[in-house]
Amino acid sequence: MTSLLIRNAAAILTGLAGSQARHAGPDLRVRGSRIEAVGTLAPEPGETQIDASGCVIYPAWVNTHHHLAESLLKGLPGGINASLTDWLHAVPIRYRGRFEEQTFRMAARVGLVELALSGCGTVADHNFVYYPESDFDSGAILFEEAQALGLRFVMCRAGATRSRMQPADARDRWRPETFDAYLKRVEATAARFHDAAPDSMRRVVMGPTTPLFDFEPGELREVARVARGWGLRLHTHLSETVAYKEAARERFGMSPVAFMEQQEWLGPDVWLAHLVKLDADEIAALGASGTGIAHCPQSNARLGSGIAALPELEAAGVKISIGVDGAGSNEAADMISEVHAAWLLQRARVGQHARPSYDGGKFEGGAHAASVEDVVRWGSAGGAQVLGFPGLGELAPGRPADLAVYRLDAPRYLGLNDAAIGPVVSGGRPYLRALLVGGELVVEDDALPGMDMAKLAGDARQAMRALMA
């Protein structure tokens, strides 16, 4: 069994909680697909070594909510200053039906490369590019592209049996699926790709696009029951803006979370993207059920949606993870940018509620709201817990060897008194000395082996022009 020794790291953040969040290291040994030891380690004869002097080691990020198709839809003028509903019309709804096999494949490749170079080892994509009688299999393309890069991949198959929004040039690709067709396509995809092993490289998830709008309540309950019968997890969007609260009250006379609970859509096998607009009783229900969140701070900020209340959610028992959402509403769709935003925005959100003492205030600011160690845990072990990968995202003996080694010698990191916090607090993208997924080297010296970045750039520009034509 092959052995790799990473030596002399300046710091190690483990993805674990409390006093275990940091390890003095300075060395970490990987044997096969697992971490064997962390500490002061002597090299073994013939062992491969990586010199991590001046570097910090993090768990590889686990991105729990993405729309890879949007990697060619960044910065569209019609959506750049639009809030969610108008943005949906201007970007994903307008362009979803235009994807062909090659443009979709290029979008997936660009997004996955961007994530890998940020130190992300596991990606969950909420795939909304599906057509009745489609002439290409978007799910298969996603799995192929992730496998080619060596990334763990979770495909959340979106779907809709009702059509609430259609562009003027809708064409047949905008026809909603029948309920039976949706279930059959998810079943076929799961039979082909789903691997339920604890450290598998590919999973399939049942992921109706937007439950309040795209499925009838009875269908949602059936989706939940069928998914659980097949051993699949459940994922969707919820409470991203006030429009969700308005729709739930108008159509069903209750809150969005109460509606989901009624449809059997809460539980430890469910995670929901966004959850920005929640009442206290909704937070309590989510926590009591062990439901998870995919927190998408940059997209929620970019669309003006708000900031999810992570400290309150976690205190209630909600499992916290981080996702980048789509590049069409987040033009920096990588995990380093995302965790930097998560760290800042949680503090800003709490600080926004500070009041002077003469008005009953009891604190000055919100810097206590999220530590770097919290953010690393949310973005690694938290994501693994949400996706159902036990032990992933934790740098400890016996855990899967998914880790990132960042070199901090760029000017923005110079002068840091605590190197461990650099990748989160300083922003930008640090030089990625190495990314391991399942013990395999995915990125080495800030490059993906065999990837011609100049060609990728040219191919992406060509695909974007074709999509816009």
Q: Are residues 341 and 229 in the same domain?
A: yes
- Residue of 468, 437, 439, 465 whose CA lies nearest to 146: 437
Instruction: Return d(Cα 33, Cα 436) in angstroms, integer.
Output: 9
Q: Are residues 271 and 326 in the same domain?
A: yes
Q: Per-residue pLDDT tens for 171-212?
A: 566 678 899 999 999 999 999 999 999 999 999 999 999 999
Q: Are residues 32 and 101 in the same domain?
A: no
Q: What is the mean pLDDT of the chain?
A: 95
pLDDT number for residue 166 = 61
CATH of the domain at 416: 2.30.40.10
Q: Are residues 134 and 271 in the same domain?
A: yes
468, part of any domain: no
Q: Are residues 88 and 104 in the same domain?
A: yes
- Residue of 376, 381, 386 whose CA lies nearest to 343: 376
Instruction: Return d(Cα 260, Cα 254) in angstroms, integer.
Output: 10
3-7 and 27-31 beta bridge pairing = antiparallel
- Give me the mean pLDDT over the 2-16 stretch: 97
Q: What is the DSSP letter of 293?
A: E
Q: Are residues 319 and 416 in the same domain?
A: no
Q: Are residues 344 and 210 in the same domain?
A: yes
Q: Per-residue pLDDT tens for 258-306?
A: 999 999 999 999 999 999 999 999 999 999 999 999 999 999 999 999 9
Percent of the chain with pLDDT over 70: 98
Q: Provide the domain limits for residue 258.
A: 61-382
Q: Are residues 284 and 433 in the same domain?
A: no
Contact 221, 259 (CB under 8 A): no
Q: Per-residue pLDDT tens for 409-435?
A: 999 999 999 999 999 999 899 999 999
* Beta strands across the sheet bearing 440-444: 22-23, 11-13, 55-59, 403-407, 431-437, 440-444
Domain count, the chain: 2
Q: Are residues 157 and 188 in the same domain?
A: yes
pLDDT number for residue 175 = 75
Q: Are residues 98 and 22 in the same domain?
A: no
Greater model confidence, 356 or 132: 356
Residues forming a β-bridge with 272: 236, 293
Q: Are residues 157 and 303 in the same domain?
A: yes
CATH of the domain at 342: 3.20.20.140
297, part of any domain: yes
Contact 38, 25 (CB under 8 A): yes
451, part of any domain: no
Q: Per-residue pLDDT tens for 30-77?
A: 999 999 999 999 999 999 999 999 999 999 999 999 999 999 999 999
Q: Per-residue pLDDT tens for 354-379?
A: 999 999 999 999 999 999 999 999 99
Q: Are residues 176 and 47 in the same domain?
A: no
457, part of any domain: no
Residues forming a β-bridge with 156: 126, 205
447, part of any domain: no
